[in-house]
Structure 1
Amino acid sequence: MSLPAAPDVTLLFGPLLLGVLLNTMLYGVMIVQAFLYYSRYKGDRSWFRYLVLYLVIVETANWVCDVGLIYEPLIVRYGTPEALKTSPILLRADGVLTVLISTPIQLFIAWRIQVVNRSYVLPVIIFVLAVISFGGGLATTVVVTLHPDFANFADFHVEIITWLISSTLCDVVLTASLVYSLWTRKTNVISTDGYINKIIRLTIQTGFVTAAAALLDVVLFLTLPATSFNFMFDFPLSKLYTNALISTLNARPWQEHVSQHEAPNALFEESNMGQASLQGQTSFALTPRIRTSQGAHQSYMSYPQPPKFKLDIESAV
C-alpha cells in the first residue's frame, strides 16, 4: 500500500524562506553600515547617533523574529497539520516591527525637507502618510494575532492596503520633494555640486527601492492570496529603510578624506567653512589655497555666496 502524498508546501514556505534569507543578508549590510557610521561620524548630533542605535536594536529584534518564524514550521512543527494551518507565532510581530522602523525614518527625512525648504507643507503631508502607515502596520499585527490561520490572511485587505499604500505614497512624496529641494540649490561650484549630485542619486535609488518593495508587497498580496510571495518583499522591507538612511548618513564626506587643498563642502562640513553659518544658513565663503611655483602657499581666493544657495549644513545629511 502506497503512502499518501505529502502536501506541497512550496508556495507557502518557499517565499517565507527566501524573504528571511533576504532579510538576513540586508541585516549584515546594515551592521557594516552602522559600524562605518559610528567609526567615522563621532561628532554627529547625539540624537542622530541614538536614532541609528535605536534602528540597529529594533532591526535585530526584527531579524530574530524572522529567523524564528521560519524555524517554527520547518523544525519545531515539521510534518504536523498545525504547521500548514496556523501561521508562526513570531510572524505576528512583523507588521509592528516594520513600522517601528520605517515611520521614524520617514519622519527624519521629513525633518530634513523642512530644514531645506523652510516650509511645513510637504513635511506635514509626509507626517500624515507616515502616521497612517504606522496605524496600518499596527492594525495588521492586531488582526494577525486575533486570526492567525493562513486561511484568514486574504481577509486583511483594509489593514494591509492602509499600511503599504500609504507607505509607498510617503516614500514617493519625500523622495521627489528632497530631490527637487537639492536640485534647486546647486551652486555652480564643482566640489559642492558633486556632493549634491551624489546625494540626489542616492536619494532616488533608495527612495525608489523602498517604494517599489512596499508596492510589490501589496500587489502580490492582492493578486496571489493563496501564496506567500508577498513575504519575499515584506520581510526585507524594514532593512531597506534602515540601509537607505544609514547609507545617506555615510555618504557625507568625513574629516580624514577632506584634502587641505579641497574646497569645503557647504552641504556638510561645518568646521572647515570659511564663515560660520548665520541663523541656520550657510555663508558660502570658500578659501582654497593657491600654490606658487616654489610650492609655498601665498594667497587665498574668496568666492561670494551664490544668491540662491541657502541651505542649512545639517539639512542634507
Structure 2
Amino acid sequence: MATLSPAPDVTLLFGPLLLGVLLNTLFYGVMLVQVLIYYHRYPSDRPWFRYLVLYLLLIETVDWISDIGIIYEPLILRYGTSEALLVSPVMLRADAILTVLVSSPFQCFVAWRIYVVTRSFILPVVITLFAIVSFGGGIATTIVVSLHPKYADFSQFHLEVGTWLVSTTIVDVTLTASLVYSLWTRKARGASTDSYINKIIRLTVQTGSITAAAALLDLTFFLVLPNTSFNFMLDFPLSKLYTNSLLSTLNARPWREEVVKFHAANALFEQTTSSTDQRSFAMVQPRSAFHKPMAPESSLRHSKITIEIP
C-alpha cells in the first residue's frame, strides 16, 4: 500500500495564502481608484489605451475572485478534511496564467513605448521575446499545477516557475533601465517640461523595481522554502503591481489644460491631434514632442488646434 505524503503545517500553508489574498484585495482597491481617475481625466485618450485599461480591469477582477476562491475552498468548503491539507484549491491552477495575462501585455506595451522614444527596434524586440517566454512559463505552470495539484508535487515545478519568474524579472529590469535612460537623454532642459519627465522617471524606477523585486522574491521563496506557501504572499498581488504601475504612469501625464498653460510636453506619450486640425497643428507643433519644446502660448492661442494626451 502506498504511503501518503506528510501533510504540511497548517500555519505555514494557509497563513501565507490568506496574507497573499489580503494584499491582492488591497491592491485591487487601489487599482479601482486609479481606473476611475484615468477614465475621468482622459476621456479623449486613444481608444486602444482605454480598451487596454478595460481589459486589465476585467482580468484583474477575475484574478481577485479567483484568489478569494483559493482561500475560501480549504477554509470553508473543505474545513477539517485531510484533502484541504494535501490537494491545492481548484482555482489556484489559474493563478499563473491570470498573472501573465496581465504582466506580458504590460511589458509589451512599455516595449512599444521604448520604441516610440528611441526609434530603435533592438531593445523592444528583446523585451518582447522575454515577455513571450514569461507568458509561456506562466501557461506551463498552470498546466503542471492542473496535472499535479498536490502540494507535495509543487517542489518539482522548478523549470516552469523559474522560466516564468526569471524571464519577467529580466524584462522588468531591462524596461526600467532603458526607459529611464531614454527619457533622461531627451530632457528639454526646461523647468516645466523636465518636471514631468522627472516625475515619469521616478514612477518608472519605483514601479519597475517593485515588480522586479516581487517576482524575484516570489521565485526565491518558492525555491528556498518548498514546504511552505510563502511565495504566494507575493505571487497573488503580483499582477496588481503591474496594473497599478501602468495606471500610475498613465495618470501621471499632464492634463490638456496643463500642457497649454505650462508648455509641458508629454514625457512618455506623444502629442496627437484631431483629424480636422492636423494641418494647423503641424504649423506650430513639431512632429515629435521629444526633440523640441512646444510652440509659444501666443501661437497656440491663435491656432485652431486640439491637443490630446494619448
Q: CA RMSD in A?
A: 2.3
**Within 2, Cα distance between the matches of 1:84 and 1:17?**
14
In structure 2, relative to structure 1, the CA distance for the partners of 1:266 and 1:224 (3 Å cut) is: closer
Amino acid at match of 1:66: D
- 8 A Cα contact 1:167 1:214, kept in partner: yes
Aligned residue number for residue 43 of structure 1: 44
Looking at secondary structure, tell me which structure has more helix per residue: 2
Deviation at 1:281, TM superposition (A): 6.6
**Within 2, Cα distance between the matches of 1:261 and 1:23?**
39
Aligned counterparts, 1:99-178, within 5 A: 99-178=100-179
- 8 A Cα contact 2:266 2:289, kept in partner: no
- 8 A Cα contact 2:263 2:293, kept in partner: no
Deviation at 1:261, TM superposition (A): 4.3
Aligned counterparts, 1:210-225, within 5 A: 210-225=211-226
262-271 vs 54-63, which moves further:
262-271
Aligned residue number for residue 278 of structure 1: 287
- 8 A Cα contact 2:8 2:85, kept in partner: no
SS at match of 2:284: coil
In structure 2, relative to structure 1, the CA distance for the partners of 1:10 and 1:178 (3 Å cut) is: same
- 8 A Cα contact 2:93 2:145, kept in partner: yes
Q: Does 1:237 align with 2:246?
A: no
In structure 2, relative to structure 1, the CA distance for the partners of 1:274 and 1:80 (3 Å cut) is: farther
Q: Does 1:185 align with 2:194?
A: no
**Within 2, Cα distance between the matches of 1:281 and 1:168?**
29
Q: Which has the higher contact order (CA 8 A, sep 6+)?
A: 2
**Within 2, Cα distance between the matches of 1:28 and 1:85?**
32
**Within 1, Cα distance between the matches of 2:272 and 2:126?**
30
Choose 1 or 2 for highest CA Rg.
1
In structure 2, relative to structure 1, the CA distance for the partners of 1:70 and 1:173 (3 Å cut) is: same
SS at match of 2:262: coil
**Within 1, Cα distance between the matches of 2:99 and 2:8?**
31
Deviation at 1:16, TM superposition (A): 0.3
**Within 2, Cα distance between the matches of 1:255 and 1:63?**
34
- 8 A Cα contact 2:183 2:197, kept in partner: yes
- 8 A Cα contact 1:273 1:285, kept in partner: no
**Within 2, Cα distance between the matches of 1:243 and 1:160?**
23
**Within 2, Cα distance between the matches of 1:87 and 1:9?**
13
- 8 A Cα contact 2:107 2:171, kept in partner: yes
**Within 1, Cα distance between the matches of 2:65 and 2:289?**
42
- 8 A Cα contact 2:93 2:142, kept in partner: yes
**Within 2, Cα distance between the matches of 1:62 and 1:158?**
24
- 8 A Cα contact 1:133 1:166, kept in partner: yes
- 8 A Cα contact 1:117 1:181, kept in partner: yes
In structure 2, relative to structure 1, the CA distance for the partners of 1:259 and 1:183 (3 Å cut) is: closer
Q: Does 1:12 align with 2:13?
A: yes
In structure 2, relative to structure 1, the CA distance for the partners of 1:197 and 1:229 (3 Å cut) is: same
In structure 2, relative to structure 1, the CA distance for the partners of 1:7 and 1:270 (3 Å cut) is: closer
In structure 2, relative to structure 1, the CA distance for the partners of 1:215 and 1:274 (3 Å cut) is: farther
How many pairs does the alignment contain? 288
Deviation at 1:262, TM superposition (A): 2.2
Amino acid at match of 1:287: P
Deviation at 1:254, TM superposition (A): 1.1
Q: Which runs of 5+ in 2 are unaligned?
A: 1-6, 274-280, 301-307
Amino acid at match of 2:296: T
In structure 2, relative to structure 1, the CA distance for the partners of 1:248 and 1:273 (3 Å cut) is: farther
Amino acid at match of 1:278: R
Using structure 1 for the length normalisation, give the TM-score.
0.86
- 8 A Cα contact 2:254 2:264, kept in partner: no
Amino acid at match of 1:189: G
